[in-house]
């Protein structure tokens, strides 16, 4: 999931993309033409992993990424834009692991709704590679302390390369889905995790305050509706799931260097 990221707000479509040197640039659509915004990272060549996320709502947009500035160890950094991706704020250090680094090859997630910003990332703390959630209620100006998701932990001396999925439902409540070992789990902060399947590379899309999920298992793309019904919708990996309306979600995934999509009736 090192590719470009896309989001939409009142100003239009915003894209962020990272160069091989570790610089993130934004692009925005002005009527019918694409234009380049400013560089998102305010210190040169610090996004070496190219792992980043982007979300937007209303007039707000927020980007997060893995950042090695200062000590060459990955941290969670972010920046906001209030002009449709044309310019970006001074970068904010959102989280630094007291052990050494956050997980080096797991993509962070971000979702924005009104002035709420939620960021999910895989930490590396005491040998455990667990998912953590950070919240801002002021459009990313400041963030509350990171909270671990789930009760149990995953002690592993390598990177799972699997960041999980994050969304905010219609009631403004954050929803998460992620992998631990070979299990697909869903949880909110302070509540034990619930296993919903087996596999990896999971995504989430709330519709009518009910969660729909997608993930892969043995190269099969699985979609699970809010009622628990599971369906294999294709072959491939790295699914992305989004709501189309109150009765449909769309799942997009990759297979043999081609992009596939399916609309699922809820």
Two structure tokens written together for 109? 């997630």
Q: Report how far residue 264's alpha carbon sits from residue 223's, in angstroms, rounded to the nearest whole number.
A: 8
* Joined tokens for residue 26: 């934004």
3-state helix, strand, coil in the chain (%, to 5): 0, 55, 45
pLDDT tens-digit readout, 215-245: 999 999 999 999 899 999 999 999 999 999 9
Q: How far apart are CA 262 and CA 201, in angstroms?
A: 17
pLDDT in 10s for each residue of the chain, 266 residues: 789 999 999 989 999 999 999 999 999 997 789 999 999 999 999 999 999 999 999 999 999 999 999 999 999 999 999 999 999 999 999 999 999 899 999 999 999 999 999 999 999 999 999 999 999 999 999 999 999 999 999 999 999 999 999 999 999 999 999 999 999 999 988 889 999 999 999 999 999 999 999 999 999 999 999 989 999 999 999 999 999 999 999 999 999 999 999 999 99
Q: What is the pLDDT of residues 142-184, one digit of tens each?
A: 999 999 999 999 999 999 999 999 999 999 999 999 999 999 9
Measure CA of the first residue to CA of the last residue in the chain; give whole Å: 27
- The pLDDT value recorded for residue 97 is 95
> Which residues lie closer than 8 Å to 257 by C-beta, 6 or more apart?
none
Cα 169–Cα 173–Cα 175 angle in degrees, nearest 5: 70
Judge contact between 177 and 164, C-beta under 8 A.
yes
CA angle 237, 117, 128 (to 5 degrees): 55
pTM: 0.96
Average pLDDT, the chain: 96
Residue of 92, 156, 91, 90 whose CA lies nearest to 122:
156
Q: Name the nearest CA neighbour of 91 among 164, 12, 38.
A: 38
Whole-angstrom distance, CA of residue 58 vs CA of residue 210: 23
Q: Are 63 and 38 contacting, i.e. CB atoms less than 8 angstroms apart? A: no
């Amino acid at each position: 999931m090192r590719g470009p990221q896309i989001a939409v707000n009142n100003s239009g479509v915003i894209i962020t993309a990272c160069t091989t040197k570790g610089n993130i640039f934004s692009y925005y659509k002005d009527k019918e033409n694409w234009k380049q915004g400013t560089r998102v990272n305010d210190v040169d060549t610090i996004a070496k992993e190219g792992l980043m996320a982007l979300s937007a709502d209303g007039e707000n947009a927020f980007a997060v990424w893995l950042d090695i500035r200062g000590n060459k160890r990955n941290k969670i950094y972010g920046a906001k834009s209030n002009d449709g991706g044309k310019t970006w704020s001074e970068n904010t250090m959102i989280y630094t692991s007291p052990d050494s680094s956050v997980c080096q090859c797991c993509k962070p997630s971000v979702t924005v709704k009104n002035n709420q910003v939620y960021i999910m990332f895989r930490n590396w703390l005491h040998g455990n590679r667990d998912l953590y959630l950070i919240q801002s209620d002021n459009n990313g100006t400041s963030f509350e302390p990171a909270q671990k998701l789930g009760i149990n932990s995953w002690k592993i001396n390598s990177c799972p390369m699997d960041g999980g999925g994050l969304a905010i439902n219609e009631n403004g409540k954050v929803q998460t889905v992620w992998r631990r070992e070979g299990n697909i789990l869903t949880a909110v902060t302070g509540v034990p995790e619930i296993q919903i399947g087996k596999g990896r590379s999971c995504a989430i899309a709330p519709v009518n305050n009910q969660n729909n999920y997608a993930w892969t298992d043995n190269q099969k793309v699985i979609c699970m509706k809010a009622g628990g019904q599971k369906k294999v919708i294709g072959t491939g990996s790295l699914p992305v799931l989004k709501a189309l309306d109150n009765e449909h979600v769309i799942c997009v995934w990759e297979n043999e260097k081609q992009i596939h999509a399916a609309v699922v009736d809820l």
